[in-house]
Amino acid sequence: MAQPFQLAELPAIEGEVATDDASVAHAAQDWGHLVQARPLAVARPAHAADVASIVAYASQRAIPVAARGAGHSPFGQSQAEGGIVLDMTGLSRVHAGNGNEITMDAGACWRQVLAATLPRGLTPAVLTDYLDLTVGGTLAVGGIGGASHHHGTQTDIVTALEVVTGTGELVRCSPEVESELFDAVRAGLGQCGIVTRATIRLRPAKQRVRRWTLYYDELDAFLEDQRAVVRDGRFDHVQGQPVADSEPGRWRYLLEAATYFSLPDRPDEDELLGELSFDRETAESQDLTYHAFLDRMAEGEERLRAEGDWFRPHPWLNLFLPDDEVESVVADTLAETAGADLGDTGLILLYPVRRDRLATPLLRVPATDLVWLFAILRTGAAYDPSGAWRMIELNTALYERVKVLGGTLYPASTLPMTTKDWRDHFGDDWQTLEVAKHVYDPAGVLTPGQRVFTAR
């Protein structure tokens, strides 16, 4: 059992340790605003050696410890009740790049990474829709985006990691060196180590983006066109969204497709859109700089912050659906989803990824050639905890339904999970993860908020 610890006993670090109420309360909160677990201290490491000292100390005394990046996980995943939260945002240096790679500290956010690569004419091949997530935070879950049908997840473009294991040892790992640790950490929910530094592969960046928004009235046509464009890879970016129509109970479907280009080249619109069956009357297109396209959430964020919805409960659920079940699951779910189930600013994402592009062992996806990210991003009302918990019950019901059909969880989600649920989730890889946990975190102190080994 964890021994209560005194601040004076904590090893001296070059960074800071805070125990004031504001710091502790901040670390007890996250994007979800649904669960709060207060740590006893928040450490802000200045470098990897600080992370190693704190984790070694915690491990010797069985004190729970969790890394916190941007704190944008929705259900306590970065919290550590009665323990230590490592605020990684001070560990955010982006290092000089080499060739087509770049190395950064894990607390850097993807916006900072991009700011360092674009002047070199390079870009991470896969970025999340939102750039203010940290490298360590997205590598803990996968990191998926509209370019994933080409390049997989962000965990697939990592070439090397520096990790502090649960005993406080600083280890470098890659597919060639300490590969078990490399595979246990990518999409490993922080169970076997805290990433302090990552190296990723880059690609040449184009200067501009043409983005099309194409609307469909029918789900099957929308799915069929997404399948076609993802299979032949004609666009650089593909994402879909079912959108509630003003007529109650009716849904339309929006395909957002984008092509990157540098002048004087221009995309050949006829060839790209040719046979697709979207509604030509309502289709729109827009040319943007590459950076403005990647930062497309910024405007929405500003509005949501101003209106307060950014700070409301977010019982988000992210699932992967098998291709052969996507149509019936989505049709049924939409038919059962009323406005109140999503919230005023909630939204749904639905887009396919080719499974042959996904190579991270702990990222669990269905067995079909195409797998569909089905993200139900709900926003709860202010001052209505029971409404938010009702949304979590909807998440549980949908997950149970999808699981028996071969669907899987993308664990950046709000879903109460038992250890049995996690065992089922990891399937054949559960044993590998369990062994890795014993090897790399024998005291079981790392990342309790994921509840992988601590739930019942």
Q: How far is the CB of 89 from ligand FAD (least distance, A)?
A: 9
> Alpha helices, DSSP H only, in 204-265?
219-232
Phi, psi of 217 (to 5 degrees): -90, -25
Q: Does 237 bind ligand FAD (CB under 6 A)?
A: no
Residue with tokens 């900072």: 112
Q: Does 313 bind ligand FAD (CB under 6 A)?
A: no
Neighbours of 282 (CB within 10 A): 13
Rounded-to-integer distance, Cα 231 and Cα 370, Å: 9
DSSP category for residue 94? B
Q: How far is the CB of 235 from ligand FAD (least distance, A)?
A: 17
Q: Does 414 bind ligand FAD (CB under 6 A)?
A: no
Q: How far is the CB of 9 from ligand FAD (least distance, A)?
A: 23
Distance spanning both ends of the chain, measured CA to CA: 16
Rounded-to-integer distance, Cα 371 and Cα 104, Å: 30
Q: How far is the CB of 13 from ligand FAD (least distance, A)?
A: 16
Q: Which window, 139-147, 166-174, 215-223, 266-274, contacts ligand FAD (CB under 6 A)?
A: 139-147
Q: Select the residue interacting with ligand FAD from 133, 202, 326, 452 (CB under 6 A).
A: 133
Q: How far is the CB of 243 from ligand FAD (least distance, A)?
A: 18
Considering only residues 18 through 37, tell me which ones interact with ligand FAD, judged by CB under 6 A: 31
Q: Which window, 170-178, 324-332, 418-426, 447-455, contacts ligand FAD (CB under 6 A)?
A: 447-455
Neighbours of 401 (CB within 10 A): 15
Q: Which is nearer to ligand FAD, 221 or 439 (CB)?
A: 439
Structure-block tokens of residue 243: 């959108």
Q: Does 106 bind ligand FAD (CB under 6 A)?
A: yes
- The HSE-up count of residue 224 (CA atoms within 13 Å, CB side) is 10
Q: What residues have CB less than 8 Å from 367, skipping those under 6 apart?
A: 322, 355, 406
Q: Does 241 bind ligand FAD (CB under 6 A)?
A: no
Q: Does 136 bind ligand FAD (CB under 6 A)?
A: yes
Neighbours of 266 (CB within 10 A): 12
Kindly write out the interface string for residues 58-77 of this chain, putting x where it contacts ligand FAD by CB under 6 A and - elsewhere: --------xxxxxxxx---x
Considering only residues 162 through 221, tell me which ones interact with ligand FAD, judged by CB under 6 A: 189-190, 194-195
Q: Is the dihedral of CA 31, 37, 43, 48 positive or negative?
A: negative
Q: Does 436 bind ligand FAD (CB under 6 A)?
A: no
Q: Select the residue interacting with ligand FAD from 57, 75, 110, 130 (CB under 6 A).
A: 130
Partners of residue 65 on adjacent β-strands: 84, 446
Nearest to 254 by CA among 267, 265, 245, 263: 245
Q: Does 447 bind ligand FAD (CB under 6 A)?
A: yes
The answer to whether residues 77 and 447 touch, using CB atoms and an 8 Å cutoff, is: yes
DSSP category for residue 155? G
Q: Does 108 bind ligand FAD (CB under 6 A)?
A: no
Kindly write out the interface string for residues 365-404 of this chain, putting x where it contacts ligand FAD by CB under 6 A and - elsewhere: ----------------------------------------
Q: Select the residue interacting with ligand FAD from 145, 240, 267, 322 (CB under 6 A).
A: 145
Per-residue burial over 52-81, b if 16 or more Cβ lie within 10 Å, else e, is bbbbbbbbeeebbbbbbbbbbbbbbbbbbb
The answer to whether residues 144 and 126 touch, using CB atoms and an 8 Å cutoff, is: yes
Q: Which is nearer to ligand FAD, 78 or 360 (CB)?
A: 78
Angle at 33 between CA 29 and CA 36, to 5 degrees: 45
Q: How far is the CB of 239 from ligand FAD (least distance, A)?
A: 9
Q: Which is nearer to ligand FAD, 94 or 276 (CB)?
A: 94
Q: Which window, 18-26, 212-220, 400-408, 446-454, contacts ligand FAD (CB under 6 A)?
A: 446-454
Q: Does 41 bind ligand FAD (CB under 6 A)?
A: no
Q: Select the residue interacting with ligand FAD from 10, 13, 42, 140 (CB under 6 A).
A: 140
Q: What residues have CB less than 8 Å from 205, skipping those under 6 apart?
A: 117, 118, 121, 122, 123, 260, 290
Q: Does 125 bind ligand FAD (CB under 6 A)?
A: no
Interface contacts to ligand FAD, rule CB under 6 A: 31, 66-73, 77-78, 88, 106, 128-130, 133-134, 136-138, 140-145, 189-190, 194-195, 412, 447, 449-450
